[in-house]
Amino acid sequence: MSTVAMKMPAAAGLMCADQAVLLARVRVSPLPFTHSAGAFYKQKSISRESVFFFVDSKFPNYFIKGNGMKEVHFVMQGKGGVGKSFSATHLAQFFQENAASDEKIYCYDTDSVNQTLARYRNLNARVINILNEHEDVDVSRFDELMEEFLTKDGVAVIDSGSSTFLPLMTYFRDAEVLSVFAEAGIRVVLHVIIAGGAEAEDTTTVLSQIVSTLPADLVLWKNEHFGEYLLPNGVTLEKSAVFKKGEKKIIGVVHLPKRKYDLFGKVTEAMTKQGLTYAEAMNAGTFNAMERQRLLIIKRGIFSQLQTLLLPGIPENGANTHASDTKQ
């Protein structure tokens, strides 16, 4: 990680006599600040010797922090079969493609029933069963996972299964897990899948539980594979009571539109069954030119939204974005 010289103005609250040049490393976070970020993002009174900023990351928001990961992204939904692992695999691939050459992306699959993320070999996801025989969070296993978050440098993506949702929510609340992250200066983002059609009401109930319980930033994934998102009273997601209640926590919404199965569904299923990332699918010799083109349409549609939400201010065709989109 590189070190650069920076002039720190006295107005910054640092003891910098005569505008002394500090050797500083600038640490970054990919997300815009929201009200839910809390007081720990406000600059604290610190000594000159403790100033460390990290500048060599691809991810652009700045805050003072020590060791540990920049961000931890949990993909959550208590309702099964609504696209949670689909969202997790895209999130992990997005970070992989946009990371700087020395930026590490860690993937974890804690789904005790369907370990989809772990099937993608190139994501190198670790399988960790965080539940014990009583279907509660195994404290020792989660402590081990927390230790990695607090000591490793990089960005983490965790695919948490629907069966782990309630135990994990309880553990987060009772053990004040988010406070531990906050004290360490690690940004936590919860990605919540909201499905349309018949799944709208149930998935919205889960979102309501998260909004009411956990003080963390949220990215909503609106999956309309099952139909348009409308609550029984005809209200859309953005007009719903839970959205308004959580709007200070919500960074934004990733829209997953319903696509024609023959055009997009078959090729997506084939890629998923083989555990291929987009980068592999473009070069595996498995798909013909038009199939690869349709995969790229899906990828770019999702990645462009993540670019806007998670990497604001960085050009979409930056260092690594769509680097794998070379073989057509």
Radius of gyration over alpha carbons of the chain, in Å?
Answer: 20
CB neighbour class for 274 (10 Å; exposed up to 12, middle 13-18, buried from 19): middle
Q: In the predicted model, what is the mean pLDDT of residues 156-167?
A: 90
Q: In the predicted model, what is the mean pLDDT of residues 249-272?
A: 93
Q: CA–CA separation, 143 vs 193, rounded Å?
A: 26
From 31, 51, 33, select the one nearest 41 (Cα to Cα). Answer: 33
For the chain, list the domains and their CATH numbers.
Answer: 4-62 (no CATH), 71-258 (3.40.50.300)
Q: Is the confidence at residue 221, as pLDDT, over 70? A: yes
How many percent of the chain have pLDDT more than 90?
Answer: 55
Q: 127: which 2 tokens?
A: 């399988």
Least confident stretch, 35-49, 69-83, 93-107: 35-49
Would you give the DSSP letter of residue 265?
A: I
Q: What is the mean pLDDT of the chain?
A: 79
Q: CA–CA separation, 135 vs 146, rounded Å?
A: 19
Would you give the DSSP letter of residue 190?
A: E
Q: Residues, the chain, total? A: 328
- In degrees and rounded to multiples of 5, residue 251 shows phi and psi of -75, -40
Q: Is the confidence at residue 36, as pLDDT, over 70? A: no
Question: Is the CB of residue 251 less than 8 Å from the CB of residue 222?
Answer: no
Q: Is the confidence at residue 47, as pLDDT, over 50? A: no
Tell the residue number behind the tokens 């590490």, with chain if given.
Answer: 104
Q: CA–CA separation, 321 vs 305, rounded Å?
A: 13
Q: In the predicted model, what is the mean pLDDT of residues 32-57?
A: 36
Higher-scoring residue by pLDDT: 310, 250: 250
**C-alpha angle with apex 174: 168 to 177, nearest 5 degrees?**
70
Least confident stretch, 37-46, 200-209, 215-224, 237-246: 37-46
Higher-scoring residue by pLDDT: 97, 34: 97
Question: For residue range 112-133, what is the model confidence (pLDDT) as tens digits?
Answer: 777 889 899 999 999 988 888 8
Give residue 315's pLDDT: 56
Helices 266-273 and 289-310: angle between axes, nearest 10 degrees: 80
Give the pLDDT band (50/70/90) at residue 258.
very high
Q: Other C-beta atoms within 10 Å of 57: how many?
A: 20
Question: Is the CB of residue 267 less than 8 Å from the CB of residue 295?
Answer: yes
Q: CA–CA separation, 108 vs 163, rounded Å?
A: 16
CA dihedral 51, 55, 57, 59 (to 10 degrees): 90
